[in-house]
Structure 1
Amino acid sequence: MSFFEYALIGFFVGIITTAPVGPVNIMAIQHAVHGGFRQGVFVGLGAVVADTIFAAAAIFGISAVTNFIEGQFDLIEIVGGALLIIFGIKIWNTHPHLTRNGNPREHGFLADATAAFFMAITNPGAVLAFVAIFGGLGDYRPQTGDHFGALVMVAGVTAGATTWWVLVSASVSHFKSRIDDLWLDRANHIAGFLLVVFGALIYLKLALEAAGVGLIT
């Protein structure tokens, strides 16, 4: 695969791992509602740093481990696909709540980003999601020893996550009067659906390979 394809896959992974509405998304939305675009973006950038760390740990960790478990790729994909489907269903059934009473305290952009970073980095579900996704990519992730390809994919994750926060902050600051809990539910439904589809595609890939069909890489 080309480096552009690695970057594109990483970009998509960055989007779908950032989109589920959790504490950081709520924090970013509230700051964008009350403080405008820049405050929302800076909250998101704190989470981007955590996501980049998770992505790097997952993809480089998987690359190292595959030296010892080259015959277990199918098992990794089966477990990863199951985790993604479980995460997707859980996110679909999560009902976040947006509080509009009062303004977020003015801590400054750096403090907002730091708070979001610690909220994200202490979320054990996030690293499991990255491991599940990268483990399920199979031939669509960089091969063992392709460190530059892995870096490109991690950079794609960073770009995808950053793009998400920019779009969310811009949309919320522009349409803030229309943002409500129903909007958040819909966002979670989309993110949950995409994770379930991603997990299902892993099983489809395994089924096609078992039938001798294979996929174009």
Structure 2
Amino acid sequence: MTFLEYAVIGFFIGIITTAPVGPVNIMAIQHAVRSGFRHGVFVGLGAVVADTLYATAAIFGVSAVTRFIEGQFDLIEIVGGALLIIFGLKIWNSHPHLNGGDDGKEHGFWGDATAAFFMAITNPGTILAFIAIFGSLGDWRPDHDNYFGSLMMVAGVTAGACSWWVFISATVTHFRSRIDDAWLDRANHIAGAILMIFGGLIYLKLAYDLIR
């Protein structure tokens, strides 16, 4: 695969792992509604830093592990697919609320970005999601010695996450009068469905490989 293809895959991983509505999404939406587009983006960028660190640790960690378990890719994909389906179900069944979790105080762009960073970096589900996704990519993941390919995939993750925050902040700012808990539920249903479909496709690939 080319470096551009790795970056594109990373881009979509960045969107998939960022889109589920959790505390940081709620915080970004709240600030976009109250203070406009730029404030919402700044909140998201704090989480992007955490996601980039976790994505880097996950992809290079997975690459290092595969040196010792080169004959166990099927097992990695089975576990990764199961985790994606579990994460997808959890996200689908969660019910975030726009009101609550914020004391109404404004801390400035950098203060809110820092708060979002710590909210994201202390969420163990983030690193587990990246490990599950990278571990289940199979041939779509860079080889363990393809360091530039791995960096391109991480760069794609960062670009995808940034694109999500720009999109969500712009959307919320434009439709701020229409955002409610039902809208957040629909967003989680879409993100959860994508993760479950991704996990299901992994099992279809494994089944195809068995009967081929």
Q: Scaled by the length of structure 2, what TM-score is found?
A: 0.98
Q: For residue 127 of structure 2, what is the amino acid of its counterpart?
A: V
CA distance in 1, matches of 2:116, 2:101: 20
**Offset at residue 4 of structure 1 (A):** 1.0
Stretches (4+) displaced over 4 A: 100-103
Are 2:48 and 2:162, in contact at CA under 8 Å, matched by a contact in 1?
yes
* Number of the residue aligned with 2:166: 166
Rate the CA distance shift 1:70–1:33 in 2: closer, same or farther, 3 A: same
CA distance in 2, matches of 1:6, 1:30: 33
Secondary structure, counterpart of 2:177 in structure 1 = helix
* Number of the residue aligned with 1:80: 80
* Number of the residue aligned with 1:215: none
| 1:18 matches 2:18 | yes
Are 2:24 and 2:47, in contact at CA under 8 Å, matched by a contact in 1?
yes
Alpha-carbon displacement from aligned partner over 1:132-174 (angstroms, at most 9, x marks no partner) = 0000000001011000000000000000000000000001011
Rate the CA distance shift 1:102–1:143 in 2: closer, same or farther, 3 A: closer
* Number of the residue aligned with 1:179: 179
* Number of the residue aligned with 2:201: 201
Rate the CA distance shift 1:101–1:75 in 2: closer, same or farther, 3 A: closer
CA distance in 1, matches of 2:46, 2:201: 31
* Aligned-residue identity in percent: 75
| 1:68 matches 2:68 | yes
> Please, what is the CA RMSD of the aligned residues?
1.3
Are 1:30 and 1:100, in contact at CA under 8 Å, matched by a contact in 2?
no
Are 1:31 and 1:104, in contact at CA under 8 Å, matched by a contact in 2?
no
Secondary structure, counterpart of 2:173 in structure 1 = helix
Q: Scaled by the length of structure 1, what TM-score is found?
A: 0.95
Give 1:1-217 correspondences, 5 Å limit. 1-99=1-99, 104-212=104-212
How many residues align? The count is 212
* Structure 1 gap segments, 5+ residues each: 213-217
* Structure 2 gap segments, 5+ residues each: none
